[in-house]
A and B are shown apart, each in its own frame.
Chain A
Amino acid sequence: MLEVKNLHVTVGDKEILRGIDLKIDAGEVHAIMGPNGSGKSTLSYILSGRDGYEVTEGSITFKGQDLLAMSIDERANAGVFLAFQYPIEIPGVTTMNFLKTALNAQRKARGEEELDAVRFLKLVRSKAKPLNISDDMLKRALNVGFSGGEKKRAETLQMSLLEPQLAILDETDSGLDIDALKVVADGVNALRSPERSMIVITHYQRLLDYIVPDVVHVLSGGRIVKTGGKELAQELEQTGYAEFGADAA
């Protein structure tokens, strides 16, 4: 599904990622853990194509294609989805209108028929219900005035609707209380499938109690310094990141 080889990335003059190797097969959930400033968010942005990051060495292959050669929206339409740590507020665009525009943009890009209003509404309601997202919330401007929990549920709804093949969850647990975390985690778990891979980026082990990963990587100083099974996350909870050259957070 995804193969990252010797990836070096700089922002401005600063090298943030210093040789990342990562291979994720279809259906796998990989957690990337690490202290603040280790390059976790940079990795999520470089995968989704955000401007301002320069790849100086290495490659990323997604389903056999050169991901770095694709634009932001080409990646999205090919099935890459980034769930934002801080979803952006879009005043004047209702959540419903946004979801419909995004879904139809992707369907169109894939040569599929666009959904009409009736079919779309039926679909979005069926996906919104398990996430406790009401019609009222769908009528509000996207993320504007949403609580932390509402924003993350809205991100999960987008993921559920767009059915990506590679979902990157960037600090999805930040700003969530335990109840909201459970709702979001249930939503994410419902999307686990043999065809879908996920990268779960988190500072804390807490999220991984609910979204249990197949593989855990520790990112520190721009490199993956340790890789293990789900028990690695629990070890980290005990020891912190100090042994990897970072201050305990």
Chain B
Amino acid sequence: MTGAAKTLVENFERERKTLPGASGWLDVSRAKALAAFAEAGLPHRRVEEWKYTDLRRLLDDVSLTTAPDHLGPVDLPATAFEAMDCYKLVLVNGRFRADLSSLAKLPKGVELHPLANVLSEQWAKKLIDRQSDHDGATRIIDLNTALMRDGMALRIRKGVRLDKPLHLVFLAADDGGAHARHLVELEEGASATIFQSHLAAGASSYFVDQVSDIHLGADARLEMVRLVDEGAKSFHLSSLRAELEAGADFGCFTLTMGGQMQRQQSFVRFNGEGAVARVNGASALRGRQMADTFCHTDHAVPACASDTLYRTVLDGSATGTFQGKVVVQPDAQKTDGRQMTNALLLSREASMNAKPELEIYADDVQCAHGSTIGELNKDAIFYLRARGLNERDARRLLVTAFLDEALDRIAHDGARDALRAVVANWFSAEGAAT
């Protein structure tokens, strides 16, 4: 076992007795997950799914010892979603902070708790213990199962609509590791909008490990908009598993901006017909930043639609990676599956890896996937300059437009405007971080 994996295993041995759910079923699940993790170790580039992001090597550079409870004041960074009226759940170093959160006056039928409060409940157990395929990509979830300390648990009862967005704020105040698990159970016909902000609030070298387990009942609707804007020496690892019943509608948009290294995985599985998933994202990276997006969609049943667009802008010597796979199972006729990734390289040293894959075992389907990697169009820059824009503004207009076509897919107007403003700020920081 390498140094990083060893530190993580030691964290578990030291904390096991104090982790939530230590006296119940979860302890058994944790021990099992830890054993599996210890055996496999951290994924490295010989594991196909981690070919471009060698976790074994990269985690050596960040502090992994579990970050302390942070009970004192926090320098709350301004968040992009601040201007909107939201319920707010704040985690600092991965632990719930009631004093910073605002969860009052939730509608009847909406249960929103820190994770530790729901661990004795069946629905939570079911979501956490769900057997995933345990392949090269999902295996890393074991680490989270073993070490998760807190998170957000949201359950919305049949037909209930969360009346305003829920903003989940994840702050890193101290160096070290933070392992959080979020559970979302929307019963039949329920609906919610969730914003997520991942920000540094004092920490410099840290590791965020987050897993979201989501189940959407029939005709349920969930819209997620995530901003990942971590600190300069961080590693952000997140895995999202969503299962959709018939007619469910799931939208997830992720904007990745600030952090040093990120690996974000999504696994969407259709369990019922007529469900729709839109998993989109954009990232703008510079300096030596790295962002790896892994996007898996499993059309297990007929007549579902999935649509994915990821756009990446890379400056400096940043590296972007997109790996996508759409699987259409033998029975999944009438599937509509689309996946596209486009990258724009603004410098000679930047690089992009793209691996879109389709696996189709049904014959009556519509599937399309594609990938482009290119530079700014010189003719377009000339055209804009010939109309009076200076070179910097011309480039900026073209890059913004490129990202905008992904941001346009955010259904929530306020969130879309908020993330556009974040992108605009990225240019203002130009030259500051190279």
Question: A residues touching B (Cβ–Cβ < 8 Å)?
Answer: 48-51, 71-73, 75-77, 81-82, 84, 87-93, 98, 101-102, 105-106, 109, 158, 162
Cβ contacts A to B, 8 pairs, < 8 Å: A50-B386, A73-B389, A88-B379, A91-B401, A92-B402, A101-B389, A102-B384, A105-B388
Given known contacts A88-B377, A91-B405, A92-B402, A105 and B393 CB-to-CB distance under 8 angstroms = yes
User: Within 8 Å of chain A (Cβ to Cβ): is B398?
Assistant: yes
Residue among B378, B388, B404 making CB contact with A76, cutoff 8 Å? B388
Smallest CB gap from B407: residue in A: A92
Contact A105 B390 (CB under 8 A): yes
Smallest CB gap from A83: residue in B: B386
User: Within 8 Å of chain A (Cβ to Cβ): is B103?
Assistant: no
Smallest CB gap from A142: residue in B: B383
Q: How far is the CA of A218 from the CA of B173 in the complex (A)?
A: 73
Query: B380, B388, B401: which has the most chain A beta carbons within 10 Å?
Result: B388
| Minimum distance in angstroms from B154 CB to a CB of chain A | 35
Q: Tell me which residues across on chain B come within 8 A of A162, comparing CB atoms.
A: 387-388
Q: Tell me which residues across on chain A come within 8 A of B401, comparing CB atoms.
A: 90-93
Q: How far is the CA of A81 from the CA of B390 in the complex (A)?
A: 15
Given known contacts A88-B377, A90-B380, A92-B402, A72 and B386 CB-to-CB distance under 8 angstroms = yes
User: Within 8 Å of chain A (Cβ to Cβ): is B397?
Assistant: yes
Residue among A50, A89, A105, A158 making CB contact with B389, cutoff 8 Å? A105
The B309-330 residues at the A interface (CB cut-off 8 A) are none
Given known contacts A92-B401, A92-B402, A76 and B377 CB-to-CB distance under 8 angstroms = no
| Minimum distance in angstroms from B408 CB to a CB of chain A | 8
The B375-424 residues at the A interface (CB cut-off 8 A) are 377-380, 382-391, 393-394, 397-398, 400-402, 404-405
Q: Tell me which residues across on chain A come within 8 A of B377, comparing CB atoms.
A: 88
Contact B383 A88 (CB under 8 A): yes
Smallest CB gap from A72: residue in B: B385
Q: How far is the CA of A82 from the CA of B276 in the complex (A)?
A: 47
| Minimum distance in angstroms from A77 CB to a CB of chain B | 5
Residue among A71, A82, A92 making CB contact with B404, cutoff 8 Å? A92
Contact A49 B402 (CB under 8 A): no
Q: Tell me which residues across on chain B come within 8 A of A77, comparing CB atoms.
A: 388
Interface size class of B (residues with CB under 8 A): 20 to 34
Given known contacts A101-B389, A105-B388, A105-B390, A72 and B382 CB-to-CB distance under 8 angstroms = yes
Contact A90 B388 (CB under 8 A): no
Given known contacts A90-B401, A93-B397, A84 and B383 CB-to-CB distance under 8 angstroms = yes
Q: How far is the CA of A89 from the CA of B398 in the complex (A)?
A: 11
Given known contacts A90-B398, A91-B405, A49 and B380 CB-to-CB distance under 8 angstroms = no
Q: How far is the CA of A246 from the CA of B192 in the complex (A)?
A: 71
| Minimum distance in angstroms from A34 CB to a CB of chain B | 22
| Minimum distance in angstroms from A112 CB to a CB of chain B | 12
Given known contacts A88-B380, A90-B380, A92-B405, A76 and B397 CB-to-CB distance under 8 angstroms = no
Contact A90 B391 (CB under 8 A): no
Q: How far is the CA of A49 from the CA of B394 in the complex (A)?
A: 15
| Minimum distance in angstroms from A41 CB to a CB of chain B | 13
Contact A73 B397 (CB under 8 A): no
Q: Tell me which residues across on chain B come within 8 A of A50, comparing CB atoms.
A: 382, 386
Smallest CB gap from A78: residue in B: B388
The B133-154 residues at the A interface (CB cut-off 8 A) are none
10 closest Cβ pairs, A-B complex: A92-B401, A72-B385, A102-B387, A106-B388, A76-B388, A88-B383, A105-B388, A73-B385, A93-B401, A105-B389
Q: How far is the CA of A112 from the CA of B390 in the complex (A)?
A: 16
Instruction: For the A-B complex with A48-B386, A90-B384, A92-B400 known, give 18 more contacts whose Cβ atoms are closer than 8 Å.
Output: A50-B382, A71-B390, A71-B391, A72-B386, A75-B386, A76-B385, A77-B388, A87-B383, A91-B402, A92-B402, A98-B397, A101-B389, A102-B384, A102-B388, A106-B387, A106-B388, A162-B387, A162-B388
Q: Tell me which residues across on chain A come within 8 A of B387, comparing CB atoms.
A: 76, 98, 102, 105-106, 158, 162
Q: Tell me which residues across on chain B come within 8 A of A93, comparing CB atoms.
A: 397-398, 401
Smallest CB gap from B387: residue in A: A102
Q: Tell me which residues across on chain A come within 8 A of B378, comparing CB atoms.
A: 51
Q: Tell me which residues across on chain B come within 8 A of A98, comparing CB atoms.
A: 384, 387, 397
Q: How far is the CA of A92 from the CA of B384 in the complex (A)?
A: 14
Q: How far is the CA of A73 from the CA of B397 in the complex (A)?
A: 15
Q: Tell me which residues across on chain A come within 8 A of B398, comparing CB atoms.
A: 90, 93
Q: How far is the CA of A60 from the CA of B385 in the complex (A)?
A: 20
| Minimum distance in angstroms from B240 CB to a CB of chain A | 27
Smallest CB gap from A143: residue in B: B383
| Minimum distance in angstroms from B406 CB to a CB of chain A | 10
Given known contacts A90-B401, A93-B401, A101-B397, A109 and B388 CB-to-CB distance under 8 angstroms = yes
Q: Tell me which residues across on chain B come within 8 A of A106, comparing CB atoms.
A: 387-388
Q: How far is the CA of A214 from the CA of B401 in the complex (A)?
A: 42
